[in-house]
Amino acid sequence: MNIEKLKELDKITEQRIADKRLVSAAYAVAYKNEVVFQNAIGYADIENKIPLTSKTPVRLASMTKPITGVAAMIMLERGAFSLDDKVSKFIPSFKNMNVAIVDEHGKITGQYPSGNEIEIRDLLNQASGLGEGEAGNRAWKDYHIKNGDTLASTVPKFGDQLLDFEPRKNAIYSWTQAFDTIAYIVELTSGMDYQQFVLDNILHPLGCYDTVYTPNEDQWARLMKMYDARDGKITEINMGDVVFGDVPLTYYAAGAGMIGTLDDYMKFAAMLYNKGEYNGTRILKPETVELMATPSLPFFNPETDVETWGLSMRVINKKTEHQLLSPGCFGWSGAYGTHFFIDWTNEVYAVYIKNLLDGGGAGADTAREFEKVIVEAL
């Protein structure tokens, strides 16, 4: 690994901050199980001149999903369910769902009974129909989730909404509904509050104490402020007392609702890189992590698909001019600019964090730059 090449990450970050396209970023790269490069540049709080560090909590957004995926895999290993189990086995309202008919203007004009029921696997690989299409977006707005609402009080209602497509016939990114559903099934089958399950079975055993759904007073105080960086101007955004969007803290948005630090997520990534084990603590069996990183969609085409979905993870299938990671790499990103990937072939794992309201998510320029520099350093 060429460490001098990795130092280009600092130059790129400093230039983006100078151009007011970025407030701050922190990142770490591990090679052959050793962190070989790490830095944090810029501020977590511009007004008070508080620097961003590897211990600063940030809003993880959709980098919450892989943690939820691991929670589901723990219960899979315990025999609580199989990937082929129908969701209605655990939540009866999911038994007879209907699919929305949408016209060319995006208007819902009718519905028809779904020929397929949602299965556990579909919740993790974006093939459930609980997506970000017209039906899914409209349904989410209609729930009007408020403080005091929980997974238990809300997820059963999902069975009454229209699907965006028949399960396993398509894949549309579900920002949280599908993952909330699997989180609720983890609650039902484990008999535990979902956040407590994640803390007790994943995060605390890994030594991750700043990754939570409900920040304590100290974590709120240290949380990076949210900013917007557009048209050469940095603007602070008041997010209030929520972690993502307008979702209240009582509702564990299992697809987007956690905060976490670079240090914590590197430990989580190290566990996945080491196929379920970190620092002598085993969270999952090796074959389970390999399953998570295996293409899972029934219509996956290995000849043409550049990227696809495993279980809660983006999985790279082909290297192209624009997609530089090696086949088999897996990981994901968050709407506010967080990103990580794991590359077993080249013995690398890496995590990048920033928090911008216009962070770019999976398509963020910063994520692509991060990957490019690391690939060139190999």
pLDDT digits (tens, 9 = 90+) for 52-89: 999 999 999 999 999 999 999 999 999 999 999 999 99
- CB atoms < 10 A from the CB of 109, how many? 9
The shares of helix, strand and coil residues in the chain, as percent rounded to the nearest 5, are 35, 20, 45
> Is pLDDT above 90 for 18?
yes
Residue span of the structural domain in which 105 resides: 71-192
What Å distances lie between residue 94 and 159, 160, 253, CA to CA?
4, 7, 19
Where does a domain end: 163, 192, 221?
Answer: 192
pLDDT digits (tens, 9 = 90+) for 318-331: 999 999 999 999 99
Residues 27 and 113 grouped into a single domain: no
* Main-chain phi, psi angles of 54, to 5 degrees: -70, -10
CATH number at residue 126: 3.40.710.10
Residues 109 and 254 grouped into a single domain: no
Q: Supply 31's token pair.
A: 């090679």
Residues 202 and 298 grouped into a single domain: yes
Residues 209 and 298 grouped into a single domain: yes
* Main-chain phi, psi angles of 4, to 5 degrees: -60, -40
Beta carbons of 302 and 295 less than 8 angstroms apart: yes
Residues 171 and 209 grouped into a single domain: no
Mean pLDDT score of the chain: 97
pLDDT digits (tens, 9 = 90+) for 333-376: 999 999 999 999 999 999 999 999 989 988 999 999 999 999 99
> Is pLDDT above 90 for 218?
yes
The pLDDT, as a whole number, for residue 131 is: 87
The reply to whether the predicted model has a pTM over 0.85 is yes
Where does a domain end: 192, 210, 226?
Answer: 192
Residues 218 and 326 grouped into a single domain: yes
Where does a domain end: 134, 166, 192?
Answer: 192
Structural domains of the chain, count: 2
Ramachandran sector of residue 161 (left: φ over 0; alpha: ψ -120 to 50; beta: rest): beta
Residues 309 and 244 grouped into a single domain: yes
Residues 154 and 241 grouped into a single domain: no
The pLDDT, as a whole number, for residue 39 is: 98
Average pLDDT score over residue span 163-192: 97
Q: How far apart are CA 257 and CA 318, in angstroms?
A: 31
Residues 180 and 106 grouped into a single domain: yes
Residues 269 and 285 grouped into a single domain: yes
Q: Supply 265's token pair.
A: 């997520």
pLDDT digits (tens, 9 = 90+) for 267-276: 999 999 999 9
The pLDDT, as a whole number, for residue 339 is: 98
Q: In percent, how much of the chain has pLDDT > 90?
A: 97
> Is pLDDT above 90 for 211?
yes
The secondary structure of 44-85 as a DSSP string is: EETTTTEEP-TT--EE-GGGGHHHHHHHHHHHHHTTS--TTS
Q: In percent, how much of the chain has pLDDT > 70?
A: 100
Q: Supply 25's token pair.
A: 């970023």
Q: Please name which of 155, 190, 150, 193 lies closest in space to residue 174, comparing C-alpha atoms.
A: 155
Residues 182 and 317 grouped into a single domain: no
Residues 304 and 166 grouped into a single domain: no
Q: How far apart are CA 158 and CA 177, in angstroms?
A: 8
Reported confidence tier of residue 313, pLDDT bands at 50, 70, 90: very high
Beta carbons of 177 and 183 less than 8 angstroms apart: no
Pairing state between β 330-333 and 58-59? unpaired
pLDDT digits (tens, 9 = 90+) for 279-299: 999 999 999 999 999 999 999
